[in-house]
Every structure is written in structure tokens, then in C-alpha cells.
Structure 1
Amino acid sequence: MTALVFLGLLLSLPSMGCLKNDILRLNIKKEPHLDPNTVCKTYPELSQTQYDLCRKYPDVTASAIQGVQIGIHECQHQLRSHRWNCSSLERKNKNPHASPLLKRGFKETAFAYAISAAGVTHQVSKACSLGKLKSCGCDMSVYGVNRDFEWGGCSHNVDFGEQYAKRFMDSKEMARDIHSRINLHNNRAGRLAVIHNVQKQCKCHGMSGSCELKTCWKAAPNFREVGDLLKRKFQAATKIHIGNAASGRLIKQNGRRPRQSDLLYYQRSPSFCEPNNRLDSPGTTGRLCNKSSDGVDNCGTLCCGRGYNILKVRRSERCNCKFYWCCYVECQTCTYNEWVTVCK
């Protein structure tokens, strides 16, 4: 690929400087009055159960949809150096779960399901505590007695977030086949990645910043920490023995039952080297690689043995993205002039 061809490809790409809510097509900076039709009829390919939930709780569903977007962004960050990097899941006005790849049983499928479910849990939990939703508020629970501080503030309502994520995400898995059962498991693993890592945050009260009185509350973990945890789960994902699945139990190939927090898959992943429309996989031609890396982003691995070109390019990419309730994303555009190695 010549430098002119590569620059031509860059110019032909859609602008990524400012991404609003691509699914709901809401181009707003203020919290809208959420008409159920705006949310439920715009978000594509809802199941009937999801649509009914959306009609009843449009504000919660809007937060859930934003949680899916946050999950896909985190998926792109965590797998940015891999041959399949989640980029095909973020298409304008598209439900990421409609991707053909998510109909398969790959490790990458497991990660996408888990990170999406985690995103919904995380976002709905936070929206509750911000007073954005009619159906929930702060979690006012007291987590035991402690002499060093008092429970107060406004804890993130992780219980409500987990329950709604389960109802909204699991309702698409109506079949009882191996694929649906593994999707349900991976959805739960994603929710658990948030629930099991809830953190205590505290604030001091007193004269001149002293800590005469300290109040604490529970908060969902930073989502990057959730992504890091699920990435480790992805790297250690467990293959399920299909022959045992018909018995109603998911069994690992070594005969043991997986843990609830494990990510599961049942099909060997393809190479993802070449474009494959059946899997909605773009291949790796044109991807930036690192010729000095020992990781999966090295040019030998990422370029699948096709080689690479060294080019000087002016590159623009989305950066410093911020998510706003409800339901959009604003990003800056960062531009770089640099020498890059690009897969042939």
C-alpha cells in the first residue's frame, strides 16, 4: 500500500471528532424529556421483552443503552492490539449485539457480551445515585457498624443496576441451546465484575480540612478497572465441552464446572487476518502495527505474515471522550504527524 493510497483511505473514513449517541440519534447537550418512542423505536432489534421494558422504563433503558456503548468503547481499548479489536461493533444506528460475530461461540464473543453487561450494570447504578431515574435512587443501605466513619452520602445502586442489566440483557437469550446458555453465563460474569469490585469512598468533615467526622459510601469501580479485570478473564477464558452441555450443566474440557466469573466459549476463533463479511470482521490490512513489540501488536502477528509498509502520515483519531446522561458521547479530535508501520 503506497503512502498516497493510505492517506486516501484516511480521508475516506467517517469523521470521529464528535460522536453523539449513534444508536439513538440524539444530538443533545441537555437531558431530554424521554419519550418512550424516542428510545424504544429508535434502538434497533429489541426483543419483545426488551421493548416492553423500554416502554415501561424509558429512562432506565436509555442509561442501559449508554452502558452498552461504554462497554463497546472499553472493548475497543482492551483489544486495541488484537486482530479483532471490537471496531465492527460500533456502527451508526446499529445494535452491537446484532453483529454476526456475536452469534458465534468465540472467546471474542464472550468478552463482548461480558463487557456490555458490565457497562449496563455500571451505568444504571451510577444514574440511580445521580437522581436521573424515576425508578431508583441512592442505595441507602448501611454496610455494618464502624467506629472510624459513618455510612452516608449516596451509594451507587449496584443492586438495581445488576437487576436491570439482567432483565434487559438476558431477555434476548430465550433459547435453551448451548449458545444462549453460554451468553447468559458471560452476561453474569460481566455483572459480577462490577458487583464484586464495589469500592468504599469517603469524605472528611471538619475545620480546616480536618477529619473529625468521616462519611463513606459505596461506589461502582472505575470502569477501566472492570475492563482490565475482564481482559484477564478473556485471556484465561474456558472452553466448554459441548457434549456435556445437553445435560443442563456447563462443563469444562477437563471435566470440572467453571466458576461464575469465568468467561466461556465453545468455538475456536478464526485468524481474523482477512475480511470476513459473514463474521462482520474487517481483517487487519491497513492496521497500525509495532515492529519492535513482543506482544500481539507486533507486525509479524498483526499483519499475519503479509509484511508491512513504513509511512509518514497525518493521523486523526477520537480522544478524550466523555459520556453524558442521557444519552450521548462527546469526543475531541487529536491529530498526529508521525511515521507508522502499516500492515499490507
Structure 2
Amino acid sequence: MSNDILRLNIPPEEPNLDPNTVCKTYPELSQEQYSLCFEHPDVTASAIQGIQVAIHECQHQLKEYRWNCSSLEKKNKNPHASPLLERGYKETAFAYAISAAGVTHQVAKACSLGKLKSCGCDMSLHGKIRQKWEWGGCSHNVEFGEDFSKKFLDSKERKARDIHGRINIHNNRAGRLAVIKNVNRQCKCHGMSGSCELRTCWKATPEFREVGKRLRRKYEKARKVDILNKATARYRRIRKQTRRTELVYYERSPNYCDPNPLVDSPGTSGRLCNKTSDGVDNCETLCCGRGYNTLRVRRTERCDCKFHWCCYVVCQTCHYNEWVTVCK
């Protein structure tokens, strides 16, 4: 059991979520984020956890690509401080979108657990009756999650007021919509012997794996917009030509083959590749033509990670003995 992933020095047994344990231990918060954290430290802790859930999911969804999100997960580092997130790449768009989705998703769920002082269950439909079911239970508070995600993640971008900031806000919104538009109804049956004569239903956020899959598809179809100068370009024209759920970017990505600290790229040397694959993880593509070695290894990796309120993650350790192909 470890809470290192949240960079917060909080014992998981009885978390004391005050500004000292949350706001002062998470690095590189903007002044607006710090003020929001000082006012709502418990919600901010949930938002930070949402960002880390998102980074894990980013690694899963892009595990076959040259840039696989691994550089965003480093101890004592705020992922949003990565130099890659200062660029206009397609990967930047995905990182912003999935982070905003993670904050929305995690805060909405935390509200329904009754753990946050500022929110509780979404009761907007409670008691309304349909033909064979009624709204009840404890709906995930997606509206509060969306609102806090906007305040926590969009504040820095609004202050910038250039095309980069506006595109980041657009991609943040696309990430939130991947959660909001896929909220589903879950129900519990009532009646003799589970006859389901009446059902009580509530709103629940989708599984985050499904959110990740949807955003990866958006990433693969992301739209490049043409701008002459990111400080003066007119975003209004871009916005009219772009759907709210689309991911957009304005800068051609590097190849990510070699280590490049300027864009937070670790390169692909040492990455596992698949010599029989026709996809992006094939050894020719992933190894950038450098070739690969075939090795017999005992591999240990973190697996089956589960995030728990608040603020720790429990992972299993999986061991594999196998032949692998590794990029030179």
C-alpha cells in the first residue's frame, strides 16, 4: 500500500486533508490553484488523485506508441509542469483531455461517497418516477466534478489568453465531455424474490477505462489547426470549425525516437516491441529503425492498481518470465 503516487504525505488510515497536507506538498500549483486548494483542500486532494488516475490510464491507452505518457509520472512532479504540455502537439491534447476527464470523474465519485464537505450526491432527479422505476440512491455529482475541473485546470489557461491556452481549454472540455456524455443509469431491483416490480435508479459515471478508450479514439483522429502566430491567432474561427468533443492541436509532433528533455521524451531505447505486429508497436516502427534484441527476462511490473479515497493506491506486483524483443 502506497500513497506516493499522489505526492502527498498523508497516512491513508485517517487522512487529514487541510491546506498544509495537500496544497503545500503538491508541487507547482499556480496561484489560482493554490487559492482554490486552500479553500477546498479535500476536493483538491480528490482532483489530484483524478490526475494520477488519468496518467495511469494514459499509459495504458498509449502503451504501444512511441510516446507513452511514462514521462508524466515522476515522483515529486506535477504532470502539468512537463515541457511537453507547453507545446501544441497531438500528445499534449490527449494529456490535457484525459487529465480533465480524470478530475471530473474522481471528484464526482468522491462527492457520492460523502467524503467531501463541499458536495454530496446529485439529488436533482431524486424522487422522480418513471414507468417502472424511480430516481433514487446516490447519483454521482458530475455537475460538481465538471465545475471543479474547470476551476482547477482552466484557470491557468484563461490567464494566458493566447491560442495555446484556448486550445488547452478546448481539449480540457473535450475530456470532461467524455465523462459527462457517457453517464449511465444503474438500478437496484425491489419486490418479492427480486421480481423487479420496481427499480430505484441513479446516475453513475462510466468506468474510466471506457473514458480512456473514447479519448484514445479522439486522439487518433485529432484535428490539426493552422495558425500563423499562437499569440494573435483568432480562436473564434477555429472553434466554429471544430466539434466540442474533438481534440485539436497546432504543432507537428517530434518522432520521440531519442531522448529529448525539451519535450520530456525519454526515447524508445529499451522499450518492449512486437516483431509480429502490424500496428504501431511493431519493432521497426517503435525502435525507429535501430533494430532490437531478443532476450529472456524475468520482468516485474505494477499491475491491477486500484485508487482508494483518499489518497492512496494499492497495486499488485506481477512477475513474468518470458522471451521479449527490446528496442536497441
Query: TM bucket by the smaller chain?
Result: over 0.9
Q: 1:295 aligns with which of 279, 295, 300?
A: 279
Deviations 1:99-146 (A, max 9, x none): 011110000000000000000000000000010100000001228641
Q: State whether structure 2 residue 58 is matched by structure 1 residue 58.
A: no
Cα distance change of structure 1 residues 250 and 108 upon mapping to structure 2, 3 Å threshold: farther
Q: Is the 8 A contact 1:44 1:94 kept in 2?
A: yes
Question: Per-residue deviation at 1:27?
Answer: 5.5
Correspondent of 1:232 among 217, 224, 235: 217
**Please, which of 117, 127, 136 is the counterpart of residue 100 of structure 2?**
117
Structure 1 stretch 199-208 or stretch 294-303: which is displaced more? 199-208
Paired with 1:327 and 1:40, the residues of 2 have a C-alpha distance of: 13
Q: Deviations over 1:267-310 (max 9, x none)?
A: 00000000101111100000000000000000010000001010
2:138 matches 1:154: yes
| Distance in 1 (alpha carbons) for counterparts of 2:263 and 2:176 | 26
SS in 2 for 1:286: coil
Maintained 8 Å contact 2:258/2:268: yes
Among candidates 186, 201, 214, match of residue 216 of structure 1: 201
**What residue is the counterpart of 1:46 in the other structure?**
29
Which whole-Å CA distance do the structure 2 matches of 1:335 and 1:250 have between them? Answer: 52
**How far is the alpha carbon of 1:31 from its aligned partner?**
3.8
- Is it true that 1:192 corresponds to 2:170 in the alignment? no
What amino acid does structure 2 have at the position aligned with 1:277?
P
Aligned to 2:89: 106
How big is the shift at 1:24? 2.8
Q: 2:266 aligns with which of 259, 272, 282?
A: 282
Match of 2:233 among 246, 250, 253: 246
SS in 1 for 2:213: helix
Alpha-carbon distance change, 195 to 31 in structure 1, aligned in 2, over 3 angstroms: farther
Q: Contact conserved, 2:10 with 2:16, CA < 8 A, in 1?
A: no
Query: What is residue 306 of structure 2 aligned with on the other side?
Result: 322
State whether residues 8 and 21 of structure 2, in contact with CA within 8 Å, keep that contact through their aligned partners in structure 1. Answer: no
- Secondary structure of residue in 1 paired with 2:46: helix
Q: Deviations over 1:128-172 (max 9, x none)?
A: 001010000000122864111011000000000000000000011
For structure 2, the residue ranges without an aligned partner over 5 or more in a row are none
- Residues 115 and 227 of structure 1 are in contact (CA less than 8 Å); yes or no, is this contact kept in structure 2? yes
Instruction: Verify the 8 A CA contact 1:110 1:186 in the aligned structure 2.
Output: yes
Structure 1 residues 44 and 152 mapped into 2: Cα distance closer, same or farther (>3 Å)?
A: same
Please report how far the alpha carbon of residue 323 of structure 1 lies from its aligned counterpart in structure 2 after TM superposition.
Answer: 0.2
Mean Cα deviation higher: 111-120 or 171-180: 171-180
Identity of matched residues, %: 72
TM-aligned CA deviation for residue 250 of structure 1? 4.6
Matched residues in 2 for 1:250 and 1:52: separation?
Answer: 33
Determine if the alignment matches structure 1 residue 204 to structure 2 residue 189.
yes
- Change beyond 3 A, Cα 1:47–1:20: same
* Alpha-carbon distance, 1:22 to partner: 3.0
Gaps of 5+ in 1: 1-17
1:84 corresponding residue in structure 2? 67
Aligned to 1:313: 297
Report the CA distance between 1:247 and its aligned residue: 2.8
Give the secondary-structure state (helix, strand or coil) at the position aligned to 1:110: helix
Alpha-carbon distance, 1:206 to partner: 2.0
Q: Deviation at 1:249?
A: 1.5
Which residue number in structure 1 is paired with residue 122 of structure 2? Answer: 139
Tell me which residue corresponds to 1:94.
77
Secondary structure of the corresponding residue to residue 96 of structure 2: helix
Matched residues, number = 324
Amino acid aligned to 1:79: L
Distance 2:15 2:237 in 1: 44
In the TM superposition, structure 1's runs of 4+ consecutive aligned residues that sit over 6 Å from their partners are none
